Structure 1
């Protein structure tokens, strides 16, 4: 893996990146004033045909990093095809973008279509994913497509039905590579990669680089340009951690939503059943929330997301399926009701707010059972947050790191009543003091 010394230069405008006029005009309309760090460092190399491995946090502008060069390259290729009367596309694809979730597939395809408006419909972009009719996608693929954004499983289904062929792919993009591998797409990726031509440009994007991703880069990329942009501008996203008593998270959550008058709030929990249970508890406190998880049909998921994006839905409770590919303009707050199991998912969750330079807020609610895990999240993500309390919901005792260490071998307190919990907590403190 190699780095290019020119990537340290940061073009002040998109005009300096080598993009063509239809793209520059669209970026002006979208009020993209200057390239993000990853765009400035990667786009010139991608336009030059280099393979790319890029590490960047969510919300860093990576979709445009591959979408803009991809559109420009396809436009030039189409012009050459027209000049030689080679315009029969069959069921072939020129640019292939592989993503882990349905929502991300739709999100990326919509972004590409938006960037391509000044090509006057000459570039055909399709999103294919599970949960919807295969027949409709097969019909849409007739005559081929310039760009296909796909989840691996559905793409393999379409290939087996001869609806699409990968023989002519010129550019492959693996977006959220770490997430795809963590979700168990290894076998499907291997099968797809075997169907792709050897001569192609490959662009790989990953927030983290576990062993499986590293192996993938070694086997798949040819002398890649490496770009690492992992930092987030602290001024755009404020992170806060509130300690709460066990069993009082719902009360604290409702209090925060009602007193801060957030126009939208995205709340993360770890289980599908937790979405429904939390929504029911909030409803009793006068807060109407919708839920979003993998058991909902694709049509229902799309309706919920559209309602949340339009502002018709104020509160959305979701599992980690919403941690990637969900782009809500000016989303004011993300709340970790449950801490993510994986420290890397913490950054993906909070990255739903504070996007594209907008000010955002990320809140984590911590009871004593969360305390040690949150320390792991902080260490892995190289952050350290002050532990705060919500006025009117102060914790029974301040839980120190020393106390938690001393109490680690002890059984968790039974019951959730405040009086019983406080007595048990005091007994534990007494034991700790005697030990010390």
Structure 2
């Protein structure tokens, strides 16, 4: 079974999948969906970028009773970013289900509005463990109607110390439920968790395809020379979208300043940013308005940032598992990619550990880097911000219409449109930015004027 059309789903569900251009299933979807759609408990081992979000969203949506306005599915994820992206995917996959409500419960955002949202009800909750446990303890959430529990990136949640929280949450759920556990690894801690929470589970695994598709290069460099190498590494690999990893927030900020001084447009992503800033940063990078994102390991997993041409480990990761997750940002969905790691004499032990995991790492000499000075490290797009979103009933079609029919912009000059609750972001051909800012600020979108500016 290779195509979504072969699954036992309603015509409406299949039509929506087709409209999203979801035609051929990825390996993890092929292996897991026939089982999970039969309401079987499941342990699925697959890397980030393998299509696992769709693999667990389809079965829970397939059995949602939208007329029963109770929480029927709970999805636990390790980070706010991942929880938000799962919720976005759910909303896309459920466009054929009218009046379905998906609610996210994450830390780092105000607690009281979540209490109000829970009072109004939802069908599906996507949450981080700490925040949903707080709602359970304060009796804000009713879980007696849960029929599906999903643990996404379970290994990451355990690495973050959530084992006890997860068990406490599960003890609050009905025992008669389907449980789907997705993890990039299957080590002793995952096995222990699985034994405690699943009933006669099926086990499916997709082998690590990333090793096949990712070309890895390691450079032994002098610490003082690292930053100056970055433009040459990018130009020699003709990369358009670059993700650079540092181990500390202070290194991210320092590197960002130094690259900016070299004339490069960069974004940073780390835990000092509030949720609004983090969401905006991910949007600006994923819609290709900025060529370079510098991040700590908050970005190494759980982010749907596709088409990253080049990953650079500015700092070598602290262990081989983190290294695997970092380089997995490139070569997503089977596409090729390049990962470059910079190290010095203090890193030899970690380099050997990583080399033990990957047999195809190439040691390179920095003198062989061919810096193409004519190569332009830049983006063709820039992003406009509109101070209206879902809460103002704005839709992508409304914004597209205002830009094309309204002010005469060509469709080819418009990139990705992201609509949040109170804001919208639109990628625009940078040559047309001034024109759009001038014209759109004087025009109505869906009968109303909005504040428009460049990000």
| TM bucket, shorter chain | 0.7 to 0.9
Q: Distance in 2 between matches of 1:321 and 1:16?
A: 37
For the pair 1:45 / 2:45, whether they are aligned, the reply is: no
Per-residue CA deviations over 1:295-314 (Å, capped at 9, x if unaligned) read 21111111211111222222
SS at 1:142 equivalent: helix
CA contact (8 A) 1:23 1:68 kept: no
**Closer/same/farther in 2, CA of residues 233 and 291 from structure 1, 3 Å limit:** closer
Stretch deviating more after TM superposition (355-364 or 180-189): 355-364
SS at 1:369 equivalent: helix
CA contact (8 A) 1:244 1:393 kept: no
Q: 2:25 aligns with which of 35, 41, 45?
A: 35
For the pair 1:391 / 2:367, whether they are aligned, the reply is: yes
CA contact (8 A) 1:270 1:340 kept: yes
Q: Distance in 1 between matches of 2:187 and 2:221?
A: 34
**Closer/same/farther in 2, CA of residues 234 and 19 from structure 1, 3 Å limit:** farther
For the pair 1:228 / 2:218, whether they are aligned, the reply is: no
CA contact (8 A) 1:336 1:364 kept: yes
Per-residue CA deviations over 1:160-205 (Å, capped at 9, x if unaligned) read 3433111221110011111101111122112211111111111111
Q: Which runs of 5 or more residues in structure 1 are unaligned?
A: 1-10, 395-436
Q: 1:241 aligns with which of 205, 215, 218?
A: 218
Aligned residues: 370
Partner of 2:273: 296
Q: Distance in 2 between matches of 1:359 and 1:210?
A: 28
Q: Distance in 2 between matches of 1:239 and 1:193?
A: 40
- 1:392 deviates by 6.1
Partner of 1:407: none
CA contact (8 A) 1:266 1:318 kept: yes
Stretch deviating more after TM superposition (330-339 or 282-291): 282-291
Q: 2:91 aligns with which of 106, 113, 116?
A: 113
What does 1:22-171 correspond to in 2, within 5 Å? Answer: 22-74=12-64, 77-78=65-66, 87=68, 89=69, 92-120=70-98, 122-171=99-148
Q: Distance in 2 between matches of 1:364 and 1:16?
A: 42
Partner of 2:161: 184
Q: Distance in 1 between matches of 2:23 and 2:347?
A: 41
Q: Which runs of 5 or more residues in structure 2 are unaligned?
A: 371-455
**Closer/same/farther in 2, CA of residues 26 and 235 from structure 1, 3 Å limit:** farther
Per-residue CA deviations over 1:335-378 (Å, capped at 9, x if unaligned) read 11112112112221112122223332222123233333122123
Q: 2:11 aligns with which of 4, 17, 21?
A: 21
- 1:285 deviates by 2.0
Q: Find the structure with the greater CA-based Rg.
A: 1
**Closer/same/farther in 2, CA of residues 163 and 69 from structure 1, 3 Å limit:** same
Partner of 1:423: none
Per-residue CA deviations over 1:122-141 (Å, capped at 9, x if unaligned) read 32112111111222222222
For the pair 1:366 / 2:343, whether they are aligned, the reply is: yes
TM-score normalised according to structure 2 size: 0.77
CA contact (8 A) 1:275 1:317 kept: yes
Q: Distance in 2 between matches of 1:61 and 1:264?
A: 21
Q: Distance in 1 between matches of 2:267 and 2:347?
A: 25
TM-score normalised according to structure 1 size: 0.80
Partner of 1:428: none
**Closer/same/farther in 2, CA of residues 233 and 377 from structure 1, 3 Å limit:** closer
- 1:259 deviates by 4.9
Q: 1:321 aligns with which of 298, 306, 309?
A: 298
Higher relative contact order (CA closer than 8 Å, sequence separation 6+): 1
SS at 1:252 equivalent: helix
Per-residue CA deviations over 1:236-293 (Å, capped at 9, x if unaligned) read 4333223323432211113223555533211111111111121122223222322111
Partner of 1:405: none
Q: 1:283 aligns with which of 244, 249, 260?
A: 260
**Closer/same/farther in 2, CA of residues 329 and 393 from structure 1, 3 Å limit:** closer
